[in-house]
Structure 1
Amino acid sequence: MKSVFLFGECMVELQRVTATSLRQSFAGDVYNTGVYLKRTFSDINTHLVTAIGQDSFSQAMLQSFADEAINTDMVFKSPDKIAGLYAIQTDSQGERSFTYWRSDSAARQVMQFIDDAAISKITQADMVFFSGISLAVIKPEDRDTFWQLIKQCKQAGVSIVFDPNYRARMWQNPQQAKVQFDIAFGLADVALPGVDDFDQLYGINTVDEIIAFCQPYAINELVIKNGENGINYVINDQQQHFSITPVTNVVDTTSAGDSFNGVYLGARLSGLDINTAIKLASQAAGFVIQHKGAIAPKIEFNQFIERQKSMIK
C-alpha cells in the first residue's frame, strides 16, 4: 500500500450562514488535500502530521480525521495549546475572505513532537507533502529541524511535494518567505504552484516566467495552476498545456487548489499518467467550488468522483 504524509495544520472553520449565525466545521490547506486524496484513492495510506489541543474542539477535529479515514498516528496533542480558528466569508462571485486566530495554535509546535520514532515512520513513506502555509505555521526557531527531516526523507527516496500557497499576512516580510521557499523548491521533486502565488511574492504572473524561475531547481514534475486558463506542466523537460472547462456555478472557491492537489497526487501515486491525473483533479476542483466551505459533502463528492474515475478506466 502506498503511503503519504501531509505536514500542516487543520483549523476550526466558521462559515457565515446568515448575518447572525455561523456553521462550524474543520479545514486547512494540507488537511483539505488529505481529505480529497483519501476520498478519491481509498487504498492510499494517508497520514496527517500536525498538533492539536486537548479541548473539545480538538477532540471533535480528531474525530473528523477518523471519519475521513485519515491516519492519526502523527496527530500530536499539546498539553497547553489549542487548535487555530478562522472565519470565512464569500462574495457573490464565490471569492473568499478570511479572518484568522492561529498565532498561538498547537500546530505551531508540531516539530517539538517529532522524535526518532516519528522520523523512522515518515522516512518510509512514498511521498511527503507540505505547503507555504505549513512553513509559515511552524515556529521560525523550529524550521531548521523541519528541513533536516525533509532532507532525511529525500535521502531515503521519499518523493517531496511542495505547494507554495503563499499568504503574505503569515510572514514577517516577503524576504523571509523567499528564503524558505528557496529551500523548498531546492528539495522538491514535485511542485504545485499557482500563478497567484508567484504574482504576489515574486511579481511574476506568466507561465513562461514561472517555468524559467523553477528551471534552476531539480524539480521533476512542475504543475502550474492558472484558474480558468488551465494547467501547464513540465515533466522530462517537456512543457504541455491542459485546458479546462470553466465552472459556471461558482459558489465558493475555498479549497479549489487543495482538492486539485489531493486528487492529482493520489492519481500519480496510483500510477495514472500526468494528463489523466490533471483531468481528474480538475474535475474534482470544479465540483468542490460549487459547494460552500472547504470540504464538499462526502457522499455527493464520492459519487461524482467515482463516475469520473469509471470513465478513465
Structure 2
Amino acid sequence: MHSESDIFKQLRGPLVFAGECMLELVNKGASQLAKSYAGDLYNSSIYLKRAFPELSVEFMSCIGQDILSNELLERLLSEGIGAHFLPQIATHHLGAYMVVTDEQGERSFIYWRNDSAAKRLMSSMSANQTNALDKVGLFFFSGISIAILHDDERTLFWEKLSQMKQAGVTIAFDPNYRPQLWKSPEVAKENIEKAFSLSDILLPGVDDFDKLYGITDVEECIALCQQYSPKELVMKQGERTVHIISSQGRESVPVVANNNVVDTTSAGDAFNGVYLGSRVSGHSPTASANAASAAASKVIETPGAIMPKALFDDFWQAYRFS
C-alpha cells in the first residue's frame, strides 16, 4: 500500500481528466461506418472508472448542445463519470475523425476538428467551475489537451494550472506529442516543457522524445525528464519494458505481450488510466504498471478506442491483481 512519502497518499477530491473527446467514425467498408466517441483523456477516464468504480472521476472539456454532444454526455454519465467540468456551448460542436485500420491493426485518421468546442474550453467554463478546480485531488492532461487550444485559451489554461498547483492539486501529464496539432516543434517544446515543470507525475513515451527531440535512448529520455524533478516518472516504450522512478526507487516492469492485435488505439490511454487509478487506490508502482499493462494488452484485441464494457469487466474481474 502507500508509503509515507507516496504522492498519491494525500489525494483529496475527484480525479479530473482534461482533454478533447471527438465523434469517432470507423470505416467498416465502402458504405458502412460505426459511430463511437474517443479522445486520449476521455479514453483514460473510461478505463480508470471501469477498473476502479469506487473512485470519483470527472471529464473536463467543452462540448456543443447538439444531438451528438448530448449523446456523448449520456455516454459519460452511463460510465459513472461526472460532468461538473464539461460546459456546453451553442456556437460549436464536437470534433470528429474517421478511422481506417490496416491488416497490422495500425490506424490512419481523417480529422474534422479545426472548429471544435473543445478549443474554447477555458473561456466556456463558469467561475464556479474554474474555482472548483482548486479543490480536486488529481488533474491529468496531455500534450493533445493543450495543443488543440486557441492561444488565448492556452494562456488561461496555464494560469489556472499554476493556481491549482499552488492550491495543492496533484498534476499528471502525458506529452502524447502529435506534430500536426502544433504550429511548430518549437511551440510544442515550449508548452510541453512548461507542462513538465508544473507536473508531479509524468507518463511519457519514448516515441514522444524521438519525435520532438530526436532522442531514442530510454536513459536519455529519463534524464531529460528528471531535470524537472517529477515526484513520479513512468517511462513507456510501447511493447518494451516500462521504467518507473518514484519515492520507492527505480523499477523496471516488463509489459504484457499479446499477439492478437486488432487495433492498437488507446492502448497507452488504457495504461495511463489504470495506472493512475491503481496508484490512487493504494497499489505499488510495480503492481500498478502490471495492471495497466494487462489492461492495455487486452484493449488492443477489439476495434475502436473503447472496448465493450462487458468484455473489459470480464477481463478485469479475472485479473483483480492476481
**TM-score normalized by the length of structure 2:** 0.94
Aligned residue runs from structure 1 range 95-110, under 5 A: 95-110=106-121
Of 238, 243, 262 in structure 1, the residue corresponding to residue 249 of structure 2 is 238
Of 39, 57, 69 in structure 2, the residue corresponding to residue 58 of structure 1 is 69
Distance 2:201 2:236 in 1: 13
| Aligned residue in 2 for 1:5 | 16
Aligned residue runs from structure 1 range 1-313, under 5 A: 2-236=13-247, 238-309=249-320, 311=322
Residue 212 of structure 1, CA deviation: 1.1
Which runs of 5 or more residues in structure 1 are unaligned? none
Which runs of 5 or more residues in structure 2 are unaligned? 1-11
- CA offsets 1:76-109 (integer angstroms, 9 cap, x no match): 1111101000011111111111111101100000
Identity of aligned residues (%): 43
**Contact kept? 2:206, 2:218, Cα under 8 Å:** yes
Distance 2:50 2:319 in 1: 13
Distance 1:3 1:167 in 2: 28
- CA offsets 1:55-90 (integer angstroms, 9 cap, x no match): 111111111111111101211111110100001111
**Contact kept? 2:119, 2:153, Cα under 8 Å:** no
**TM-score normalized by the length of structure 1:** 0.97
Distance 1:256 1:249 in 2: 13
**Contact kept? 2:287, 2:321, Cα under 8 Å:** no
**Contact kept? 1:2, 1:44, Cα under 8 Å:** no
**Higher mean C-alpha displacement, 179-188 vs 137-146:** 137-146
- SS of equivalent to 1:65: helix
RMSD: 1.2
Residue 310 of structure 1, CA deviation: 5.2
**Contact kept? 1:52, 1:77, Cα under 8 Å:** yes
- Judged with a 3 Å threshold, the aligned counterparts in structure 2 of structure 1 residues 178 and 310 are, in CA distance, closer, same or farther, namely closer
Residue 2 of structure 1, CA deviation: 4.9
**Contact kept? 2:61, 2:118, Cα under 8 Å:** yes
Aligned residues: 311
